Chains A and B, each alone.
Chain A
Amino acid sequence: MSEVKNILLVGVGGQGTILASKILTSGLMKAGYDVKMSEIHGMSQRGGSVSTQVRYGDKVYSPIVGKGSADVIVAFEEMEALRWLDHLKIGGKMVINDHQIQPVPVNLGMAEYPEGIIEHLKEKVDVLSFKAAEVATELGNPKAMNIVLLGALVKAMGLDDIDWDAEIEANVKAKFVELNKKAFHAGYNL
């Protein structure tokens, strides 16, 4: 029985982790894996921290990624990467969007946004960081940032045998298919 793999996508409400995880899980299912995914909705939609947890393997029981078990963490925002560090498996990898979103306490001057998060994390773990929105903007639309990150994730997990172009076609509106395919490959080839 193959070991269950764990992926965490973390970010801030409204950053579009949902579409990325939808494409991911649908591709994994077609590849014959058992897949579970967990998301927390609700209050967290209003600008709070959000996480999507994906697990796959021959047989998956719990939908939750435990501490010290994520093979890859994709952080759509820097501080969220730091927040979820304890969920990374020893030797696991982080893909971090080089982007900061100020939480309310920082905006109100009640707290300070930690500086140098990415450098700090690089001292401890294997980090790939880049400005996903810039990559997407160069391709024509900053919103495709989530698919750039998905491409980088697929590379990090070595999930090369799946026809990701077909999954993008199946899950994205027709007029955005080309853009998202380009975004996926840009992320994959980083």
Chain B
Amino acid sequence: MKVIMSGNEAIARGAYEGGARFASAYPGTPSTEILENMPQYGDAVYSEWAPNEKVATEAAIGASIAGVRSFCAMKHVGMNVAADPIYTFAYTGVTGGFVMVVADDPGQHSSQNEQDNRNQAKAARLLMLEPSDSQEAHDFMKKAFALSEKMDMPVLMHVTTRVCHSKGIVELGEREEADVPDYEPKIKKYVTAPANAKVLRATLEDRVKAAREYACNCEFNRVEMHDTKIGVITSGVSYQYARETFGDNASYLKLGLTFPMPTCLIKDFCSKVDKVYVVEEMDPYIEEHVKMLGIECTGKDVIPRFDELNTDIVRKAFLGVEPETYTSDMKTVVRPPALCAGCPHRGLFYCLSKREKKDGIMITGDIGCYTLGMAAPLNALHSCICMGASISQGHGASIALRDAGKKTKVVSVIGDSTFFHTGVNSLMDAVYNSGSNLSIILDNRITGMTGHQQNPGTGYTLMGKEAPEVDIPALCKAIGVKEENIITVNPNHLDEVNAALDTLLAKDEPTVLITRWPCVLKKFSKQDLDEFPTLHKTQCVIDQDKCKNCKMCVKTGCPALISTKEKVVIDYTSCNGCTVCKQVCPFKAIEEVTR
């Protein structure tokens, strides 16, 4: 059967067909929809959200050691978090076929950095597959499990935003069941105490060597001979851009298995063409290998080393042609993303922005929707490095500032999912080492940024089952934060937020403020409706007779407030009745009405 699928849907389907029985992931654009598409195969494949990528990888490794085909999935930076287990799992090899799906984001559509994880496959020695569209994403994923078992190596399925989020036609197949052997301990294989690990280190090189030979004669790497004046070596989605640029005026070595690199195949291909071009996104991963073989080629001297590629860029780089286009001297205005109308983060950031101006606090930030607290008009977030870093950075800064004799207070903001990801370790550091930062945990009852995934605090699993909820105040207390230093507030009530900030900022020890109100885009659970009975029940309107057009409400940054020179109105289709604008209006011109 043929269907239209995104790369992510195709990977999920491929995993199902390939006999996977266990999947674990932490969400992250552009990889999130892989696991979101797994529950439909729920009878055959168990799948779960883990609190972070390291845990997801380890859980899948456990399943593999137990003899079951398994995979984990993550965005590119997730692989940094998961680097520790995967680098050593490369030594031990697998029992059940194991695939780590990693989605890079060239062009940083939704990421804090751009990194080419093909380098990590080389560094850790993982068999690497690079599909170039949905059909290949499906086929490669399906075959990856058996390949992993055959070579006794974990597979890195390397994809990029354009493969994950583009749709194409996919021919589906049947599921292939793999037998699960009875469990049998393999201590020499899996206990990497130095004596065993040194042996494994050596056999790893043997496995890589065998894989290199396999790479030269495998179905993942393919030669397409046409005109031989130009030979293009390429992989992933770049193949599509190259194919479109050169058509049949060039021959292609299309690589799908790129670690280990198929050396003989490359040499052979290059000997048959006059000139070699390498077309790849981000780092010169293939190019460096080709050059190392002593073969001259053109690649990064004409193609950018960063950002996404597309056919326009490749065509201009190699053929020097640019498309004819319409132009206009009329200027567009940028359309930056903003916190949603009624977002529970708005109230908190509004209060912080006032204090930031008045008291000069330092606000260390983290990654999630609340990172948008940095943007105008709130401007109330000063750093964002990686997940979980807000509290640890805040701890370091609070000690450093105190020791330097400065009075600046430090506030750290972190979302619920990010707190469970790695923030909880950071809080331990702050408490254990007597820091003095205020940690604000923005508990909007869901993982918002990546499109509303369940997490250990929401009471549900990926497969839709009810689950125990992490009790955040109790967890903070268990870590050692004093009970009187933990306050929970409704962030839509500015008075409550301000009172709590007053109390906690006056202390010189680790404190925690929890803002608890659901994300307005969340699909509310029964528990949510019980706990937050006023959700979406009201909205606000501006009484134009009372409004003095002072624009104070607009400074909350709510996109439902539409401001023109003449007046401000509330768009009733998007207002969610959080009442933050009402609370900041100095002329009592905003009313709350039933929806």
B2 touches A62 (CB 8 A): no
Interface centre among B237, B241, B323, B369 (most CB of A within 10 A): B323
Known interface pairs A13-B337, A35-B169, A79-B332; A63-B162 also in contact (CB < 8 Å): yes
The contact string, 1 if C-beta is below 8 Å from chain A, for chain B 157-169, is 0000110011111
Interface residues of A in 55-104 (CB under 8 A from B): 60-64, 66-69, 79, 82-83, 85-88, 90, 102-104
- For the complex of A and B, 8 pairs with smallest distance between CB atoms: A42-B110, A68-B323, A46-B337, A63-B166, A42-B29, A68-B325, A103-B335, A61-B240
A41 touches B332 (CB 8 A): no
Q: Which of A12, A36, A83 contacts B332 (CB 8 A)?
A: A83
Q: Could you list 22 A-B pairs, sorted by A, with CB under 8 Å?
A: A13-B337, A25-B4, A38-B166, A39-B166, A40-B109, A41-B30, A43-B110, A44-B110, A45-B337, A46-B372, A47-B335, A47-B338, A61-B240, A62-B240, A63-B237, A66-B323, A67-B322, A85-B327, A86-B327, A104-B335, A110-B376, A117-B330
Q: Which residues of B are interface residues toward A (Cβ below 8 A)?
A: 2, 4, 29-30, 109-110, 133, 161-162, 165-169, 237, 239-241, 243-244, 310-312, 322-328, 330-340, 369, 372, 375-377, 450-451, 551, 554, 557, 559, 561-563
A158 at the interface (CB under 8 A from B): no
B244 touches A46 (CB 8 A): no
Closest B residue to A114 by CB, please name it: B330
B335 touches A48 (CB 8 A): yes
A166 at the interface (CB under 8 A from B): no
A31 at the interface (CB under 8 A from B): no
A63 touches B451 (CB 8 A): no
Give the chain B neighbours of A66 by CB distance below 8 A: 310-312, 323
Known interface pairs A66-B311, A67-B325, A109-B551; A103-B336 also in contact (CB < 8 Å): yes
Q: Which of A64, A82, A88, A104 contacts B311 (CB 8 A)?
A: A64
- Expressed in whole angstroms, the Cα–Cα distance for A103 and B333 within the complex equals 7
Closest A residue to B557 by CB, please name it: A104
Known interface pairs A25-B4, A29-B2, A43-B109; A82-B330 also in contact (CB < 8 Å): yes
**Distance in Å from the Cβ of A167 to the closest Cβ of chain B?**
12
- Expressed in whole angstroms, the Cα–Cα distance for A9 and B252 within the complex equals 32
Q: How large is the interface on A (under 10, 10 to 19, 20 to 34, 35 or more residues)?
A: 35 or more
Give the chain A neighbours of B338 by CB distance below 8 A: 46-47, 104
Known interface pairs A29-B169, A62-B240; A12-B326 also in contact (CB < 8 Å): no
- Expressed in whole angstroms, the Cα–Cα distance for A64 and B325 within the complex equals 16
Give the chain A neighbours of B561 by CB distance below 8 A: 107
- Expressed in whole angstroms, the Cα–Cα distance for A35 and B162 within the complex equals 15
**Distance in Å from the Cβ of A184 to the closest Cβ of chain B?**
19
A25 touches B337 (CB 8 A): no
Known interface pairs A29-B169, A79-B332, A109-B551; A68-B110 also in contact (CB < 8 Å): no
Closest A residue to B559 by CB, please name it: A47
Closest B residue to A104 by CB, please name it: B338
A108 at the interface (CB under 8 A from B): yes
A125 at the interface (CB under 8 A from B): yes
Give the chain A neighbours of B325 by CB distance below 8 A: 67-68, 85-88, 90
- Describe A's contact surface by its main secondary structure: mixed
B29 touches A41 (CB 8 A): yes
A107 touches B310 (CB 8 A): no
Interface residues of A in 113-143 (CB under 8 A from B): 113-114, 117, 120-121, 124-125
**Distance in Å from the Cβ of B326 to the closest Cβ of chain A?**
5
- Expressed in whole angstroms, the Cα–Cα distance for A90 and B562 within the complex equals 36
- Expressed in whole angstroms, the Cα–Cα distance for A29 and B451 within the complex equals 28
Give the chain A neighbours of B336 by CB distance below 8 A: 48, 103-105
Give the chain A neighbours of B323 by CB distance below 8 A: 66-69
10 extra A-B contacts, CB within 8 A, seeds A47-B335, A68-B325, A103-B334: A26-B4, A37-B167, A41-B29, A42-B110, A44-B337, A46-B338, A68-B323, A104-B336, A112-B333, A113-B333
- Expressed in whole angstroms, the Cα–Cα distance for A79 and B165 within the complex equals 25
B330 touches A62 (CB 8 A): no
A178 at the interface (CB under 8 A from B): no
Give the chain B neighbours of A26 by CB distance below 8 A: 4
B376 touches A108 (CB 8 A): yes
Closest A residue to B2 by CB, please name it: A29
Give the chain B neighbours of A102 by CB distance below 8 A: 562-563
A25 touches B167 (CB 8 A): yes
- Expressed in whole angstroms, the Cα–Cα distance for A48 and B239 within the complex equals 30
Q: Which of B312, B331, B337, B563 contacts A67 (CB 8 A)?
A: B312
- Expressed in whole angstroms, the Cα–Cα distance for A41 and B32 within the complex equals 10
Known interface pairs A41-B110, A46-B340, A79-B333; A104-B376 also in contact (CB < 8 Å): yes
Known interface pairs A29-B169, A107-B559, A109-B563; A42-B332 also in contact (CB < 8 Å): no
Q: Which of B330, B340, B375 contacts A104 (CB 8 A)?
A: B375
Give the chain B neighbours of A41 by CB distance below 8 A: 29-30, 110, 165, 451
- Expressed in whole angstroms, the Cα–Cα distance for A29 and B29 within the complex equals 27
**Distance in Å from the Cβ of B84 to the closest Cβ of chain A?**
27
Interface centre among A26, A102, A113, A125 (most CB of B within 10 A): A102
A106 at the interface (CB under 8 A from B): yes
- Expressed in whole angstroms, the Cα–Cα distance for A104 and B338 within the complex equals 8
Give the chain B neighbours of A165 by CB distance below 8 A: none
A169 at the interface (CB under 8 A from B): no
A111 at the interface (CB under 8 A from B): yes
A90 touches B169 (CB 8 A): no
Give the chain B neighbours of A114 by CB distance below 8 A: 330-333
A44 touches B331 (CB 8 A): no
**Distance in Å from the Cβ of B568 to the closest Cβ of chain A?**
9
Q: Which of A38, A62, A85 contacts B326 (CB 8 A)?
A: A85
Known interface pairs A12-B335, A104-B375, A107-B561; A34-B169 also in contact (CB < 8 Å): yes
Give the chain B neighbours of A44 by CB distance below 8 A: 109-110, 337
**Distance in Å from the Cβ of A135 to the closest Cβ of chain B?**
17
Give the chain A neighbours of B324 by CB distance below 8 A: 68, 90
Give the chain B neighbours of A88 by CB distance below 8 A: 325-326
